[in-house]
Amino acid sequence: MSNYFRTWLRRQLRFFASTLIPAVLIIGFGMLAVTFWPSVAWGSTAIFALIVIGLTFWLI
């Protein structure tokens, strides 16, 4: 039972790390970009999103 729980917890943490954390980073950066750099918000957010997604796939 303990091994099952550890496996389940590891899967949940990996899912959390691979989906929710990058999504929060991208949305947060987009909100900052719109606030402070409105003329380049779309481009900078797209580049940041590609970098975060690439790092996520590389690390996980």
Between the CA atoms of 36, 40, 41 and 46, what dihedral angle is there, to the nearest 10 degrees? -140
pLDDT of residue 57: 86
Q: Give the 3-state secondary structure of residue 58.
A: helix
The domain tally of the chain equals 1
Residue span of the structural domain in which 51 resides: 2-59
pLDDT per position as a tens digit, 4-52: 999 999 999 988 888 899 999 999 999 999 999 899 899 999 999 999 9
pLDDT of residue 8: 92
pLDDT of residue 28: 94
